[in-house]
Copies of this chain bind each other. A is one copy, B any other.
Amino acid sequence: MQDLLFNFLSKYVTLTEEEKKAIISLDIFHSVKKGTTLLKEGQKSNDGYFVLKGCIRTYYIIDGEEKTTAFYTEMEGLTPHCVVDKTPSQYYISCIEDTILTVANPEMEVEIFNKFPKFETLCRILSEELLAKQQFNFDEFKISSPEQRYLNLLQKRPDLIQRVPQHQLASYLGIKPQSLSRLKARILEKSKE
């Protein structure tokens, strides 16, 4: 299980056995069942997550309606907003599949950083990389229509469309479930011509 993490990290740094042991000893590996809510609106938390296997989503509840804004799957990490600015969370995080993830808080990070400074470099690089990727996704979203966004997702993350309920996908694409249905029918219609 932890090999998934070490494999991923090996793309960025070479870890000694001692360093790996230090990570394992933090006891950050967890298995969570489908449907489990990791964080609720209004809660304070210091936990950041990194998905090793499975899928989690973040969503807001606005006027009683769920608005799904992100999915995190294999080798993707999430530091909730509330961890960064120490305020109650504005959104929920829950598992849409049985999921294996790591859970870590800033205190644990500092502890590791002090012992092994290369981890701080790793975290800096990862978060800079993620920031650039995130900015690009946002750019793409802005300059695309809902239909283009869907087609784009079909190209770039076909798995998501399979493993995620459609009504959750819809708000992820910035539209209503009915519009997603219609849009898919429209695409199918076009492809027949």
Given contacts A84-B129, A128-B127, contact A141 B139 (CB under 8 A): no
Q: How many residues of A contact B (CB 8 A)?
A: 37
User: With the chains together, A135 CA to B79 CA distance in Å?
Assistant: 10
User: Main SS of chain A's interface residues?
Assistant: helix
As for how many copies of this chain the complex holds, the number is: 2
- Chain B residue numbers with a CB within 8 Å of A79 are 128, 131-132
Binding site for B on A (CB under 8 A): 58, 60, 62, 67, 69-70, 79-81, 83-85, 91, 113, 117, 120-121, 123-124, 127-132, 134-139, 141-143, 171-172, 174
CB distance from A106 to the nearest CB of B (A): 9
Given contacts A120-B121, A124-B120, contact A85 B141 (CB under 8 A): no
